[in-house]
Structure 1
Amino acid sequence: MAREDGLDSAVAAMRSGDEAAFRRVYRAVQPPLLRYLTVLVGAADAEDVASEAWAQAFRDLDRFEGDADGFRGWITTIARNRALDHLRHARRRPTSDEPVERMVELRDDSDVEGDTLGRVQSEAVLALIATLPRDQAEAVMLRTVLGFDAPTAARILGKRPGAVRAAAHRGLRQLAKKLSEEP
């Protein structure tokens, strides 16, 4: 993935306690991280999981050593672990027995008309990726959307680089097939 010039120096400055550098790194890393988490846990929970990941990364920043790519891999690994914890917890959480008719009366503050075409397309792409089997969806997100190389994606997923490449290839092939079947 192409990095902004100086992101390596921003990561180094962030590790030294520079708040402006932290903001710069956050602004560069957060959007793709959020897209990845959206595929894992859904749009409704992605922000919360990302916040937990950043909080943990901030607490453990003294343990991190590396450049911008290393930091992106590190925070993505933390986020993935938080996402898996979230999914395990959600499976144990009881669901509401509230009838759907009562939900219709709830107020919706969102401005649907204010959404941009780009956001709608991005959400459609993420939704399509989310239909893949989990290993393929994660491999596609890490390799194609977030731009990690196979060894970094493999470390994040706890797999071998070849397995990640194969899962990404299978996922992309399935996505191509799904897109060709659409009217």
Structure 2
Amino acid sequence: MSTVVTADDETIALAKDGDHAAWRALYQANAGRLVVWLDTQPTRDAGVSAEDVAADAWLTAARKIADFDGTSDEFAGWLFGIARLLLRNAQRRTSRRRTSPTSVEILDLSAREPAPDASAGPDSDGWVAWLLSHLPERERQVVACLDVVGLDVPSTCAALGMSASAVRVARHRGLRRLRGLGVVLTA
């Protein structure tokens, strides 16, 4: 059994050397979809914004780029994995020490309308968030990675720390649940 070692492509090699143009290319390819993906996660529970977690993920990636071996295509999965771990750490910190003596406002999805605002179209963030709110966390994360921000299966596996089979099963179950709501997703 041999392991395949992927050589760094030119963009990653330049980023490791501190080339600003290479970092800009990686940022342009991944920054927007990282924030969109983080917006689908329960960042409000952690007391942080999606933008804050994304910024921390980029800083961590810049510090640890020397440890990354792969191509610029594989960089997205690695970066999303960093963001997932940072978000989970923030959620743990928040759950351990509640510093506010007042009650925390909790988003109650059962009190929401059965459908998104009629003016919200299928391309709006509110509509996507409403759909994803009906899925269990694992399925929500997989559908958000694959179908909302457009990661491929290997990048989603790296980002979520799951096997390819688990990703495919979670996506299948999530899409089946959405179809049960009368939603048909087309590619």
- TM-score normalized by structure 1? 0.73
Aligned length: 157
Structure 2 partner of 1:46: 50
Structure 1 partner of 2:77: 73
Structure 2 partner of 1:35: 36
Q: Matches of residues 1-183 of structure 1 in structure 2 within 5 Å?
A: 9-42=10-43, 45-94=49-98, 95-97=100-102, 121-180=124-183
Give the 3 Å change call, closer, same or farther, for CA 96–38 of structure 1 in structure 2. farther
For the residue of structure 2 that corresponds to 1:40, the secondary structure is coil
- TM-score normalized by structure 2? 0.72
Structure 2: gaps spanning 5 or more residues: 1-8, 106-119
Structure 1 partner of 2:4: none
* More helix, by proportion: 1
Question: Aligned equivalents of 2:103 and 2:80: distance in 1?
Answer: 36
For the residue of structure 2 that corresponds to 1:66, the secondary structure is coil
Question: Aligned equivalents of 2:81 and 2:104: distance in 1?
Answer: 38
- Shift in Å, 1:142: 1.8
Structure 1 segments (4+ residues) deviating >4 Å: none
Question: Aligned equivalents of 1:57 and 1:71: distance in 2?
Answer: 9
Quote the RMSD (CA, aligned, Å). 2.7
Percent identity of equivalent pairs? 35
Question: Aligned equivalents of 1:86 and 1:172: distance in 2?
Answer: 29
Question: Aligned equivalents of 2:133 and 2:23: distance in 1?
Answer: 30
